[in-house]
Every structure is written in C-alpha cells, then in structure tokens.
Structure 1
Amino acid sequence: MRALAVLLAATCALAPVTGVLAQAVDLTVVPPVPTDFKAKTTPWGEPDLRGGWPIDHLNGRTPLERDPAQGNRAFLTEEEFAQRDEAVQQLAQRYENEDKTGTMGIGHWAEVANANRRTSWIIDPPNGRLPAFTPEGQKLSDEMRSTWAAGQSFEWTDDFDSWDRCITRGLPASMFPFMYNNGMRIFQSPGLVALQMEMVHETRLIPTDGRAGIPTQIENWLGESRGHWENGNTLVVETTNLKPGPSATNIGTTGSPRENDTPISAQAKITERFTMTSQDTIVYEVTLNDPVVFTAPWTARLDWQRDDDFGIFEYACHEGNVQVRNYITASRAERAQEQKTGD
C-alpha cells in the first residue's frame, strides 16, 4: 500500500497508469496531457503559475534515457518498480547510516525522493533514448572537456565546462532534476514570466507580451526566450540564441549518457510547455530541436508538484573560487610526476 501511495503521488498527470492498474494497460502509452483544468488568473488576466515548483520529488532514480532492455515501455512493471523502490530506500538510508557511524559523506549531500514508475524522462523517440549525434555533433561532443569525464587532465580554464566554472548548467539541462539544488519558483508580472532556478541561482526571463526576438548574433548561455499562452492553462516558451560551443551545456541528470558531453549549436531551438493540470500540478514538456548536433528532435516530460514552502538558499558552487585553480595545479603536478617516473 505504501508503494502504491508513493506511485499515485509521483505520477501526477500520469495517474491513469499507476499501481496494479499498470498491468492491465499498455505500458508503452503515455496518456495525453489533461487540458480540462481552468487555471486561476492573475489580476491582469493571465493564467496564474506563480509559486514554488521544486523538482526534488523527481529525484528518485528515474533516468533521462531508458534502459534499452525496456524497449518502448514508458512505465515500469510491478517487479521493476519494486526493485527501484528498494534501491531508493537504500539510498535514503545513507544519511541515517552516516549519523550512526559519526561520518559525513554523500548521504549528507545528495537528496533522494520516492521512486516513480516512469522508465525515462524522454518520451520521444518512443524508445526513450536520445537520438544519435550527427557527425558534427559527435565532433563537438569529442571536443568537450569536463571534470565529470574520467581520466582527463587540466591545463587551463577551457578544460572545464560551463557548469564546472559555476557559470551555468545550461538548457535544457537546468530543467532536469539533480541530486541537490532542485528549487524552482515562478514569478509573473504583466507580460513577463520569471523562472528562478536554485542551481547556479539563475533566473530565466520570459516575455509574454509579443515582443520581437533579438538578433541572431546575440547569444546567451540560457538563450533568448519568448512565451505565449494557450488554452487558458498552458505557457508555451520558445528559446533560441543559445550560446554554442563544446562547453555550452550538458544534460547532467540521473541516467545521462556520455559523461556530460552533450553540446548545443547556434541553430538549436527549445520548445517548452508548462500546463497546469490542477492548482498544485504542472505537466512540463521540453523538446530540443538541434539539427547540427542530433539527427532528430527529442522530447522529455516531467510532472511538477507545488511546494510553496520549499526554501531556496545560497548556491555557493565552489567556495573561495579556488577549485578550478586547484584542479589545474594538481593536474600539472600529477603529469610532472608521471613524466619524472617515466624518465
């Protein structure tokens, strides 16, 4: 009963495919986003999305990409869900275990939420996996540098990606859950939506007043967004003018492939849909179309839950701003020692 309750809470708009009912339906079918809810409006007449929408409840080992063995199944079987739930419970126990032994490690650092039944956040392509890189996309990926990649040496600042350097996690990466700092808060004023993100303390400004875009020559780490309203409960956001390059972005969430080496190009376009399905739930969908990097577009879907009490605190990143220097000096010393040993 506890697992069923967790599942019902976690799947939100996907509630028709939950618990024991999942065995009686097609697990490859993702139900359409409900559109019958009528959102409250702001004093100036726009759908009111204001409030806290942290995505920490999604940090329950659901991967970005699906296990190939699961094929086109968007949902776990009962057995698979039980296995994930057990794994999550073991992770959640780490904090208490460290307290008992007087230690402080990843259990005090990483957050974990309840398991849910989704096999992957990606819903299109139907196999739940990122499309293949184009030849140029593979080239850009091979050029990316990051502390997340094993066996890499560091000589200068361009050996680090933008997340390493506390500049940005990029898009669409910033919209996916991570092991910590999952706070999200939406603010609105007439003709403008602001989306505050706890990670790196960035705020996305999204005009909804119909203003024209900026020249393509101007590139921003989070791009340039324009929003409009559909059906009285959906905010549609289109983002272009993303800063390209081998260190521009990485996916960086559970089940991310390629050790954070997913680049983005100047031709990339991101389309997001924020659909209120109740006063306390939003279905978030994001599609990345980057013909330079990927052979096809891909779409992910996440279910948000309101939590207006979620506190967003300082994001220190690396304290004292010494970690990049430490990586470089340590890497240089390591290479000098290897050369000396080799001689």
Structure 2
Amino acid sequence: MRLTTLLAASVLASGALPAIAQDALQDLTVLPPAQNGYKPTKTEWGEPDISGGWPIDHLNGRTPLMRDPKDGNRIYLTDEEFAERTEQVAILAKRYESEDSQGKMGIGHWAEVAAANRRTSWITSPSDGRLPPYAEEGKRLSGQMRSTWRRGQAFDWPTDFDSWDRCISRGLPASMFPVMYNNGIRIFQSPGVVAIQLEMVHETRIIPTDGSPSLPRQIDMWLGESRGHWEDGNTLVVETTNFKPGPSITNIGTTGSPPENDTPLSPQARLVERFTMTGPDSIVYDMTWTDPVVFTAPWSARLDWVRDDDFSIFEYACTEGNEQIRNYINVSRQERAQGMESSQ
C-alpha cells in the first residue's frame, strides 16, 4: 500500500520537475538556480511558514549521491540515459509483486523506489559530481572507521560498529539524503525554533532561530549543534557544527555512496544548509559540507523537495542494536577461533 502511494506521489513529483529539466537540457552541465521570488505565508509570529510534510521518497529513483565518472560534468542525463534509468526503476518497482507471486519476502518488501529523474548525481560541486579527495588525515581517519559494511572486519566490541549499526543515528548530512526506505521528513515551527523530524532512526533536529548563542565547541552531538536564520523572506539558512565523530557522513543506504560507510568527519566539520521555498509545495534544499581536516575541498549537493502532508511516518522500531551487535561479535570470535575468514 505504501509502495503504491509512493509511486503515485513520484509521478506527481516528476511532473513538477520537467519545467526545470527542460530549460537545463539546452546545456546538460547547468543547474538552474533556485527561484527565490516566492513569498510564503507567515506564521503568527512573523516568520516564513515552511512547516509541513516534506518526505524525500520521491527522490529515491536511482539517482546516485556521486556521479558516474562517465557522465563528466553533466548535471542531467541525456534522453537515452533517462529512458534507461526509467526502465531500471520499472523493473525494481515490480519486485514486491514478483516476490508475492513466489511466496517470498525479500528486498522488494523493504526497499522503496520512486519515479526516475534526470539528475546524474545529488552532488553539484565539485563539478564532477563526486566527493573531493581525502586529505592525508582524512585517509587515516577513514581507515580507522568500523562498520558492518566493511568486508573482512573482525568484531570484538560495540565500538567496532558505527552509530547506524547500533540504531543510534544515521548522522549528517547522510540523514538529509534519500535512502532505501523511511524517507519521511516533517518540519515544525514555533517562535524562535524550527524542528526537523526524520523518520530514519526517529531523530529530530532542533534549530533555534532566535539569535541565541551556540553551545561551546566542547559539547558535541550526533546531529551537531545548529543555529538558523532567515534570508530573502523565504529561505531558512542553518549552520551546524559540534559534530560527534562516529557516523559516516555518507553511507551505503544512499545510492552511489562509498561502499563501506567509512567517510569520516573531524571536529572542524561544518554544514551549511539553505531551505528555499520556491512555491507553496516546493522547497529547494542546498547544502555545503566543509571539513578541511578530512577533505581537500568543500562539497555541495542539491535536492528538490515536494510537499506531501498526507505522508505517514512509520515508527522506526530499530532493534538490531539490542541483539545483532552481540550476534556479530559471537560469530566473529567463533570464526577466528576456528581459523576461518570472517563471513561479514
């Protein structure tokens, strides 16, 4: 039922995108700037009202975070490439029905897929649509990260698992990108505060917009310390620092991410996001990640959100952190005791 709703919403959402893509098709390397002339309604206390349901499941249509090198600097797919992606999505969308007909329950009952779109990647800068190279310290930190996605790794203690393995946090900016399921996002507002509820790992970002001072840098959190302000009458700008090291800032659940959940962050990491209302039911989400300790340059991404106030957020009843951690450790120790290579 949810999959049917998702595909229907995707069709509606994709109908809002061709106007942008059509203009850009004259030059496949150009991403049009967000139109900021729209004036949203105001809250009772005078701030732009961006509250509501903004699920990003309509973006879960095989667009990768990082661009395939063969696509070079192209922001958009060609007509032929778009037709190929559309065919791939149609095949994936049939997995649920196919499994049911065979009396099976597999990835088709878990992973959701939306209509294809023309974007070659969510990353818009650098121009090749890929994460910048690591700095030397970034390479070292990446090598120290642990996750169940790392092949051949031994498990002896909870610190051998990342925060997503342990059902603690998917982290930022990963939580703002579409994943295989649980893509619900809701925005709530009250005087001086914006809250962003995330369906995946049931987290809520609290963002003061009243000019209150930030917390000391010694206090770190999984989703960092955020402060927001309003620009141009329709854009919420959020700056986040004080990140707690641990989560991979990109992860395997986002198509085209590094394959082992091993993209680290440092205490100098900084995330700047812009939420620009371009219409009553549309937001352009831009983000830039800067971490000079890990990366040789900043990187940016953009997603186009579509309102869906009827989207129902499901409870993210994550129990793996309570049971599977112990199971992984027991199996890993047994395999090593028997001289076997890790099966993970």
Query: TM-score with structure 1 length normalisation?
Result: 0.93
RMSD: 1.8
Map of 1:250 onto structure 2 = 249
Give how far 1:39 is off. Answer: 0.7
Please, which runs of 5 or more residues in structure 1 have no aligned partner?
none
Q: 1:334 to 1:242 in 2, by over 3 A?
A: same
Structure 1 partner of 2:236: 235
Q: Render the CA deviation track for 1:112-153: whole Å, top value 9, x for unaligned.
A: 111000000000111100000000001000111101122222
Do structure 1's residue 139 and structure 2's residue 140 form an aligned pair?
yes
Change in 2 beyond 3 A, CA 1:134/1:110: same
Does structure 1 retain, via aligned residues, the 8 Å contact 2:165–2:320? no
The Cα shift of 1:36 comes to 1.2
Q: 2-side partners of 1:335 and 1:11: how far apart?
A: 54
Aligned to 2:5: none
| Map 1:87-106 → 2, pairs under 5 A | 87-106=88-107
Give the whole-Å Cα distance in 2 for the aligned partners of 1:299 and 1:320: 31
Match of 2:43 in 1: 42
SS in 1 for 2:218: coil
Kept in 2, the 8 Å contact 1:218–1:241? The answer is yes
- Looking at structure 2, the residues matched to 11 and 210 of structure 1 have their Cα atoms a distance apart, in angstroms, of 39
Question: Aligned equivalents of 2:218 and 2:38: distance in 1?
Answer: 40
Using the TM superposition, give the Cα deviation of residue 334 of structure 1 relative to its aligned residue in structure 2, in angstroms.
1.4
- CA deviation after TM superposition for structure 1 residue 250, in Å: 3.4
CA contact (8 A) 2:239 2:273 kept: yes
CA distance in 1, matches of 2:137, 2:257: 20
> Kindly, what percent of the aligned residue pairs are identical?
68
Q: Which residue of structure 1 aligns with residue 173 of structure 2? A: 172
Q: Which amino acid aligns with 1:219?
A: D
- Structure 1 residue 56 displacement after superposition: 0.6
What corresponds to 2:338 in structure 1? 337
Q: 1:126 to 1:12 in 2, by over 3 A?
A: farther
In the alignment of these two chains, the number of paired residues is: 331
CA gap 1:11/1:268 in 2 versus in 1, 3 angstroms? farther
Contact 2:166–2:321, Cα closer than 8 Å, also in 1: no
CA contact (8 A) 1:236 1:273 kept: yes
Does the Cα contact within 8 Å between 2:248 and 2:265 map onto a contact in 1?
Answer: yes
Structure 1 residue 17 corresponds to structure 2 residue 21: yes
Contact 1:6 1:116 in 2 (8 A): no
AA partner of residue 248 (structure 1): P
Distance 2:15 2:161 in 1: 36
TM-score, structure 2 normalization: 0.93
Q: Which runs of 5+ in 2 are unaligned?
A: 1-8
Q: Compute the displacement of 1:230 (Å).
A: 0.5
Partner of 1:208: 209
Match of 1:289 in 2: 290
C-alpha separation in 2, matches of 1:224 and 1:114: 34
Aligned equivalents of 2:325 and 2:266: distance in 1? 25
Which AA in structure 1 matches 2:271? I
Which residue of structure 1 lines up, in the alignment, with residue 316 of structure 2?
315
Q: Which amino acid is the alignment partner of residue 298 of structure 2?
A: P
